[in-house]
Amino acid sequence: MITEAKRKAIKLFARGREFYKERDFQEAFKYFSAAYKADPTDEPSNVFIARCQEYIDNPPDEGWDGVYGMKSK
């Protein structure tokens, strides 16, 4: 059964992904953070929070296709 917190986190995460794909990392960060706050077990939101922080500091190239290039293994 999906909890209400998980449902809320899923909706917030989906909205964050929309902003992420549009390269609006500040706004995406807000939604991913809200999703993680709604459900602290939501690891994907936590991952995207870190990616947004990275892209805010170092924006991807104009040709960026939304794929994240891992820096290390």
Residue-wise burial string across 29-44, b where 16 or more C-beta atoms lie within 10 A, e elsewhere? bbbbbbbbebbeebee
* Domain locations in the chain as residue ranges: 4-57
Threshold 0.95, pTM exceeds: no
Burial of 50 (0-12, 13-18, 19+ CB in 10 A): exposed
For residue 11, count other CB atoms closer than 10 A to its CB. Answer: 14
Tens of pLDDT, residue by residue over 21-59, are 999 999 999 999 999 999 999 999 999 999 999 999 999
8-state DSSP, 21: H
What confidence tens digit (pLDDT) does each residue in 6-23 have? 999 999 999 999 999 999
Question: For residue 72, what pLDDT is reported?
Answer: 64
Q: Which tokens in the block code for residue 71?
A: 């820096």
Q: Which residue has the tokens 């917190």?
A: 5
